[in-house]
Structure 1
Amino acid sequence: MSLTVLVAHGSTYGSTAELARTVGDTLREAGLAVDVRSADAIRDLTPYGAVVLGGALYAGRWQHGARRFARRHRRALVRRPVWLFSSGPLDASATERDVPAPPSVRRLTLRLGARGHATFGGCLDERARGRVAQMIVKSGKGGDFRDFAAVSAWADGIARELRPLLSQG
């Protein structure tokens, strides 16, 4: 089994991609080979021994690229260690407590046999495109609620679970 970890993300405005890069950096610092890529750019999971998949949440659903990735690669994902993360609450709730995954992501966690799921705060600022995003920002409900230290701590836990695979390789 390859020991390269794929960190794939579905990100519309780039915030979830930044969280994915933080996961990737943390896994690299732990000695793992890592590839961080957009979920839309992945065609084949053969090079990867484990997958971390993140999706931005919009109205309780993952960004379409992350959903499509999970659907397209389901058979390959169930044969690998998989972790999922969501980004999206535009408040401090994800920092203050565990925020449960929305039902669609819970179902996906079960279908893939994912080893874990975490929800992290999101970011929506004046750079966001689209009418709905701009309305949210103008209403004062936007902002950056990402906790990169929490993301790194979560990724450290993944690295601890993957280290035994290194000694087998």
Structure 2
Amino acid sequence: MRILIATASKHGSTAEIGEQLGRAITSGLRARNIEPQVDVKKAHDVDTVEGYDAVVLGSAIYLGKWLKDATRLMDRDLDALQKRPVWLFSSGPITPGDNADNLKWINTPWAVEHHMFGGKLDPSVLSFTERIATRAAKATEGDFRSPDDIAAWADSICSTLAAHPDR
């Protein structure tokens, strides 16, 4: 079973979520006696989703939107994505209680699920303009990613894939 995990990340924290998902999905499927090939890539490095049995696509939320690398991949490969199980996730410098209902792809009927992860806001990696914008928005500094939430979502993906290994 070939699985693609593609992420669009501004400062690296969404890519780290993708890497954690990759490790958790690999071990979760092996525990279910399925030998996966899991490729974790930057969205802009993905040439096509053809050849993958399932796709997990995630993006940082930046200024209230997904990053262009993720939306370009989605737009470009939309027909192929609709023919396989796809999970979407978003992450941003928000607390887990916030939501992203205004994002374009949240309620897409062909995705299995969209999951919202808290993000990470580290002012030391931001540009001067980004620091000004986060101060103006009163964004909370910190790491709101939950390893337990990431692991639980990966396990849910594994359960679905194991129940339908021939999808």
**Hey, which of these two has a bigger chunk of helix by percent?**
1
1:124 corresponds in structure 2 to: 121
CA shift at 1:92, angstroms? 4.3
Deviation at 1:34, TM superposition (A): 0.6
Question: Structure 1: which 5+ residue stretches go unaligned?
Answer: none
**Cα distance in 1, alignment partners of residues 139 and 160 from structure 2:** 40
Looking at structure 2, the residues matched to 131 and 52 of structure 1 have their Cα atoms a distance apart, in angstroms, of 32
TM-score (norm 1): 0.84
The alignment status of 1:60 with 2:59, answered yes or no, reads no
TM-aligned CA distance change 1:76 to 1:143, over 3 Å: same
State how many pairs are aligned. 159
Which residue in the other structure is 1:106 paired with? 106
**TM-score, length-normalised on structure 2?**
0.85
Instruction: State the AA in 1 paired with 2:140.
Output: K
Secondary structure at the residue paired with 2:111?
coil
Displacement of 1:128 in angstroms is 2.3
Match of 1:49 in 2: 53
SS at match of 1:93: coil
C-alpha displacement at 1:100, in angstroms?
4.7
1:22 deviates by: 1.0
Displacement of 1:12 in angstroms is: 0.8
Q: CA deviation at 1:102?
A: 2.4
Residue ranges of structure 2 left out of the alignment (5+ in a row): 31-35
- Point out the more displaced range, 138-147 or 59-68: 138-147
Corresponding position of 1:22: 20
User: 1:164: Cα distance to partner?
Assistant: 3.3
